[in-house]
Amino acid sequence: MCTVAASRNSLRSRRGTVDSSPRVPSRRRQRPPATQPTPPHRRAHQAAPARGSTVRANAAAAAGLPADQQSPRPAVAASWWVELFRPLEHRGCNAELLVLLLGETLCGLATTLQTTFLFVYLHLELGLPALGIVAAQGSVHFLCGLAKGASGVVGDIVRSQSRVIKFGTFLTFLCKPMMLLAGAVHAALGPEACAWWFFVARLCDQLSKNVREPCVNARVKQLAEESAEKTGPAGGESKDALQARKKKARQSAFALKETLGTVAIATGGLSSGLVLAATGGDYTLTMAASAVPPALALAWYAARLRDDNGASPEPEKKRTPVKWTWALLRATFNAFDPAYWEYKVVNVLLWFARFDVALLTLRAVEVVPKELLPAMIVTNMTMQILLTPVVGKIAGGGGAKGGGSSHRNALLLLLAGLGVMVAANACFVLPGLANTWGMFAGAALLGVHMALTHANLKATSAAMMPQKEVPGLGRVDGSAASFDASLLGVALLGSNAAAGALTDMTREAGLGNVGCFCGGAAACLLAGLLLIAFCTWGHLGKWAVEKDAEAARKTVRKAAEEAAAKAEDKAAEPLLA
């Protein structure tokens, strides 16, 4: 008996028990076996591992070991900027993502470095009309938008997105010096030949970007999904949990891509101002500097970018050719919600206020020294960087319990963005604001407008895409996205043409380059009135209410499942002690 009592007291001391009262026989239940299936409502909470605790990404990832042989990375507190550049949990995938995005950032910096003073040079130095400049820009964006998906198809055919990215970077490097010859072409062949040379040079430059961009997006998506697959829990997880982690990884990776793109624009604007000041106002040397970043990007890719041969997705199943008939076209049209067409009317009108940035620079140099253009670009980008996360949270319902009102908030934010755009146009038009403060206020308000509307328009349009199958066609969400992009491309083409014509009219009348802003303000006012009408009496308001109600029901159901899981865990604690 003494031996049994001593053993019992020793066991109590190891458990931290100080009670010396006699031990009462326990009638607690046995711990459930490890093989007992987990209830469905608890799987989602157990599937996602804590960030940094079960991540199989250390030096073994760089050595090429499989995921099951990599040791987890210790959970350490990291600063916010470290977390920003670590969107993927798998260290090898994250390193390759950074290699990819650094080269793309250099190419974006080169474009801003070239275009900051390009339109001022063409208009003031070479005498090209505003209509010719913006019409060429609109045509370039329209033609390149139609051919945007070709490089992604090529990347799938050669089964390597990285090779196409390197080829597109090489094209970017070749195209940048083309603009240096614009002055020589103007001197030798005249302004009309110079306008065509500008169009060809910009077309080649934009095409090189469209060769890179779809493959960069595809590779970012592949790396995000590969990281999610390699960093799952050791015991496995459900398919829904894996898809949720893939979605989160994609969002984090593309958020970093957008952030670096914004930084490239701001850095390119500042760099162009510094180069112009260092060269004594020489536009040609400033544009020549734009060839340096793509050269660095090409060397960087050649040394560090891994060939993803075989990483492209599995080939799609063969589909029988579609025979288009009037009934099939009508079925495709009916696949879109009526609210989509109302939203597109507002979107197209807004695009008539989003003409090319060349007209903004031409107006600004009438009022402020050209050396301040980079500072205006930085002001615009700063407002976007600061406000976009806040706007995204508001558009998502603010995280309120019960689902929030994300779609209604998105429409209200769009209406506010239209009002801000009217105010920005007023800063560039009104004679009393034709000063440095007025130009910077207009640039800042344009940044606020982009923060309120840019991501908002994309998210709302994506939510309205057809989700059901069309008889005879199947799912048409990919074709719908292409149609949406083509529609906005046509609108942008018309917007640039109308804005250029209005600008030439007001300049010839002695009012300056303000006609485009007058037309943009009118388009925004009309778009705002139509948006109010569609939300009040049309299908758009009903669609937003129905979507928000559906989201609220899902949130309540998820909260009930979480409460049930917590209650079950709490009830099981004394039984498993």
Give DSSP secondary structure letters for 87-154. Answer: -SSSHHHHHHHHHHHHHHHHHHHHHHHHHTTHHHIIIIIS---HHHHHHHHHHHHHHHHHTTTHHHHH
Q: Report the first-to-last Cα separation within the chain, whole angstroms.
A: 26
Q: Does residue 405 have a pLDDT over 80?
A: no
DSSP 294-306: HHHHHHHHHHHPP
Query: Residue 474 forms beta bridges with which residues?
Result: 470
For residue 468, give the amino acid letter. Answer: K
Superfamily grouping for domain 91-225+241-311: MFS general substrate transporter like domains (1.20.1250.20)
CA pair distance 116, 118, nearest whole angstrom = 6
| Mean of pLDDT values over 316-323 | 50
Closest CA to 402 of 557, 544, 545, 546: 557
Contact 540, 534 (CB under 8 A): yes
Say what the pLDDT of residue 27 is.
Answer: 44
| Mean of pLDDT values over 380-394 | 83
DSSP 12-79: HHHTT----SPPPPP-PPPPPPTTSPPPHHHHHHHHSPPTTTS---SHHHHTT--GGGSPPPP-----
Say what the pLDDT of residue 154 is.
Answer: 56
* Helical spans, DSSP H, in 396-435: 406-429
Q: Which architecture characterizes domain 325-565 according to CATH?
A: Up-down Bundle (1.20)
The upper half-sphere exposure of residue 229, i.e. CA atoms within 13 Å in the direction of its Cβ, equals 8
Q: How confident is the model at residue 135 (pLDDT cuts 50, 70, 90)?
A: confident
The first and second tokens of residue 364, run together, are 């600004």
The CA distances from residue 438 to 38, 120, 460, in Å, are 63, 19, 32
Say what the pLDDT of residue 35 is.
Answer: 47
Kindly report the backbone phi and psi dihedral angles of residue 298, in degrees, each rounded to the nearest multiple of 5, phi listed first.
-65, -45
Q: Does residue 257 have a pLDDT over 90?
A: no
Length of the chain, in residues: 577
Say what the pLDDT of residue 5 is.
Answer: 47
Q: Where in the chain is the domain with CATH 1.20.1250.20?
A: 91-225+241-311
Q: Does residue 23 have a pLDDT over 80?
A: no
Q: How confident is the model at residue 4 (pLDDT cuts 50, 70, 90)?
A: very low
Q: Does residue 516 have a pLDDT over 70?
A: yes
On the 0-12 / 13-18 / 19+ scale of CB atoms within 10 A, 285 is middle
Query: Residue 470 forms beta bridges with which residues?
Result: 474
CA pair distance 40, 399, nearest whole angstrom = 25
Q: Does residue 432 have a pLDDT over 80?
A: yes
* Helical spans, DSSP H, in 336-372: 338-351, 357-364
Question: What number of H helices and E strands is found in the chain?
Answer: 23, 0
More confident residue, 462 or 283: 283
| Percent share of the chain, pLDDT over 70 | 74
CB atoms within 10 A of CB 317: 5
Q: Does residue 325 have a pLDDT over 90?
A: no
Among the residue ranges 65-69, 88-92, 260-264, the one predicted with the least confidence is: 65-69
Among the residue ranges 186-190, 191-195, 238-242, the one predicted with the least confidence is: 238-242
Q: Does residue 344 have a pLDDT over 80?
A: yes
Say what the pLDDT of residue 477 is.
Answer: 60
3-state secondary structure of 476: coil
CA pair distance 232, 253, nearest whole angstrom = 18
CA pair distance 285, 329, nearest whole angstrom = 53
